[in-house]
Structure formats: C-alpha cells, structure tokens
Amino acid sequence: LLAIMATAAQASRASLRRVETDLVSSSQTSMGTLLDGFNSILDIAEDIYTRVHGYIDGQGRRQEEGRKNPPNKGHLWALLIAGSAGFGNYRHQADVAHSYHVLHNGGVPDEHIIVMVYDDIAHNPANPHPGKIINHPKGKDLYAGLPKDYTRNQVNVKNFLAVLKGDAESVQKGPHASGRVIEAGKDDRIFLFYSDHGAPGLLGMPTGEFLFADQLHDAIRHRHETHGFREMVLYIEACESGSMFEGMLEDNINVYATTASNGQESSWGVYCPGMHPSPPPEYMTCLGDLYSVSWMEDADSNDISLESLQEQFERVRKRTSNNYTFVQGSHVMEFGEMEIDQEPVSWYLGDSGYTNHALLQGETEIPHALHEKNMLHGAVEQRDADLMPLIMAARDTKNPSSQSMAQETLERERYVRKNLDSNIEETMRRVVSRIRNTTNAILEHDVVVNHHIAPPQGRALVSDWDCLRNMMYMWESKCGPLGQYGMKHSRAFANICNLGLSHLDIQDVLSC
C-alpha cells in the first residue's frame, strides 16, 4: 500500500508540475501558489513513505531472525494423544504416530515428547502389515521408533490431565505408564495434539470416562496460573471439537487453539477405501483424518520456520473444507490469543530446519492430496468411518462364511446405533412432556435432541458442567455406556441443563 502511495505521489507531482508550467506561462499565479501547497503535501507523503518503508524493512529482517531464534526461547514440550481403540479407529493412532515423527524430525528431543496411544493397531490381527502403521496411501511406516509413554488402560482422563498439568504424583502407576509429565517452565512452549472422537463439550478416551471441556480448560488455566508455560498451542481433531473452546478459552492467557470442526458438525476421516486417493487395497479402514493429515502434510512439505501458524491455519482450513465447499468437509476454527498465530509453526513443531520429511515411501514431492488441482475426492464422517472395516469386509471378503459374519456384525452395529438414537429421542420426548405439564412451556422434543438451547449465561455449550456430567451419569448407570457413537447425544443432556432442570431426576423417564 505504501509503495502504491509513493508511486501515486511521484506521478501526481509530475502531473502537477506540467500543470504548473502551463499556469505560469499564462500568468495564473494564484493557482501556482495553490500548487505549491500540493507539492508540500506530496513532500510529506514521500517522506512518510521513506521512513515507514525503512521501518518495515527493518522489522522484516528482525522478524525473519526472530522466526529462526525466538526471544527467551526456552524449550518445547509436546503431548500427543489418540483417544480411541480398535482397528476401526486405525486413523487416530496413525495421526498421532505421524505427529510424533513431525516433531522428531523437527529436532524436538524424545525427552520432551509424551505419547499416549492405546497401542492395539500395529499388531492387530486385522492389520495387513503387522508391526507397521501408515497415515498416507504411499506412506512410510510410522510405528518404528514411536515412543509410547501411556498405553492400554493408562490412556484415560486422569492420566491425561495429570500429564498436562505436570502433576507426577497424580499419574496412575502401572506397567503401561512411564509416569512422565510435561515439566515445562515459564519460558517454555507446549504443543498439544489430540485425535479421536468428540461430541458437544466432550472428547473421547479409549478407557474410562469422557474428557469434558471444563476439565481441559481448568488444566490449561492451572498451568497458566502456576507459570507452567510461556505459550501453548492446541490442535484438536474430533467431531464438534469447536465446542471444547467456544465461550470458554480466554484471549489473554497465551493459549491458541485450532479445531477440526465447529461445535455443531462432524470432522472427517480420509484416505478411506473407495475414495481418492485410496489406501492400498489390502487396507479396509481409513488411514487418517482430514484436518490432521492436512496440518501434518503441510508441515512435511514446507519450511515451517518461514510459515506462521496463521498461514498454516488458512491452508488447513482450505483443504479441510474441501476448497471451501464444505461438501465432505468441515469448518476449521481458531480460538484464544490470536496474536500467537503470527508466530512461526516451527516454534511448536520443531525448528531444526526444512528437510522435506514427506514421510512417503520412496517419494520427496508434496503429497498428492495437497495439490489444489487434485483436491480429495471424498471423505467419510468420523462416526461412519468406524464402520468402514465392517463395510469392506461384508463387501469384499471372498470367503462366504467370513462375509456372512461381517455382514451380520455390521447390521448388528447399525441396529445398536439406531436403537440408541430412538431411546434418546423417546427419553427427551418424556422430558419435554414433563416440562409441559409443570410449566406449560411450548417445546418440541426434536429441539432438545437436535438443536442447541443456549445456557442462561455465556456462549459455552452449557454453564453448569456438573449438571451435564450428572445427566450423562444417570443415563449410563441405567442404560449402559454411550460409547464413541452415543456420546454425540451430549447436546441433548446439555439442553436439559440449559433449560434450568439440573434438579431433574431423569432415571424414571429413561427409555432403554
């Protein structure tokens, strides 16, 4: 803009001087005096341009130096967690394995990377290449060298929060837990990546309870108040993941977060059978998640010391939205302290320099799906991606007996899901009926089930998180676990709380 102003000033001066010459020759001295004033203004404009341009040049050089050598750099710590189990969720542990290699290749020491994975994928009987995990159709093995600090039943909410807060005493001890926690101090940065199923206000875990948004927020606040980091960046891959921060994450605690979706939509699995690019034919599951592979393949393919978090966010948002069509794509969101997004990605993923760690077998070019002209031709909603192994087995298994068994398992899973949806809907119908009888309020049950009823205060999913926990506990204590599919109904339970019915005992109206 300043360059355009300077060019315009110079052009204007030339035109004015031609006019001035004509006026002087015709003795119109009063107009000449006026033009002298314009020339003075142009002198000032050019002087401002020279000074500001010099300042910007200096700032650019300092910014470039700062990207390579951040002030008060401290150390970088990372917590990488896959919150699921089972071969149908292959993609989540593959995402986390990939993220480890991004950081490792960036020079982050293993002593500063904590990995939480259930670890039942690499050696799963359904894995066509035992002992290996890939995250791209042409991907290298990502399981080799992967550290595993917490596995099996030690991947749970209590340990996750203890690790994040740096509370070594609260970590559950066991053969599947290293006991390591984030030991960051006031000059250090923290990067957190989570990949799994989500729901309004929730993130899943392979064992035990769900992680609620207020619990995550409290852990972040705890670290901030105890000077446990300089800055923190979180990348969250999950359905409705925007609800983990919306109306909750402050903009003044040095935390920046991006999510795979807003608070009302699914995130998407990618590299699934039948889509382009497709996994190798022997794989009957999705290899990755769209948001996750977008930021990791971007990091693999660019000099992230010269790329800001904002620039990466825009690239990931474009790809995850399927070129802004949102057809088989989601709305990537950002929250928290937006000034942080001007910092280079390398401050949070490693800054050992660009070496193009594409992690593709025998290839060094940008992954196929990153080219705009070759945008992904299809993705699968997270909750449907879980069914992909069953769908492929029922369709492609040549053994009639195995095919029949897979088809039966698939139909049973679909029935369970449909039955759960019906039970939730009937329960909310009964709740609404009770509300009508006691308050004469006009309310439809489908609003409670499918829409967001705003809380009395704030923009978060719910203002009374204990009420939400209690409502879900009452359901699960009588009807059984909601699981990674049923957790999507947390919005209905939140709506009960937002209607001011925290005192309501729903056990006698539960339909299950």
Catalytic residue IDs: 197, 239
- Token duo for residue 30: 């009063």
Q: Could you give the CA distance from residue 259 to residue 195 in angstroms, rounded to a whole number? A: 10
Q: How many helices (H) and strands (E) does the chain have?
A: 15, 12
Residue 437's φ and ψ, nearest 5 degrees, are -70, -30
Taking each helix axis from N to C end, the angle separating 400-439 and 388-396, rounded to the nearest 10 degrees, works out to 140
Tokens of 222: 């705890």
Pairwise CA distance, residues 158 & 209, whole Å:
9
The angle formed by the CA atoms of residues 184, 190 and 193, to the nearest 5 degrees, is 135
What b/e readout covers 408-428, taking b as 16+ CB neighbours within 10 angstroms? Answer: eebeeeeeebeebeebbbbbb
Q: Classify strands 198-199 and 268-270 as parallel, antiparallel or unpaired.
A: unpaired
Question: Whose CA is closest to 452, among 487, 482, 490?
Answer: 490
For residue 207, report the phi and psi dihedrals to the nearest 5 degrees. Answer: -140, 150
Q: Please name the residue ranges forming H helices in 271-360.
A: 290-301, 309-320, 346-349
| SS3 letters across 298-309 | HHHHCCCCCCEH
Among 303, 393, 288, residue whose Cα is nearest residue 350: 303
Q: Residue 88, Cβ neighbours under 10 Å: how many?
A: 20
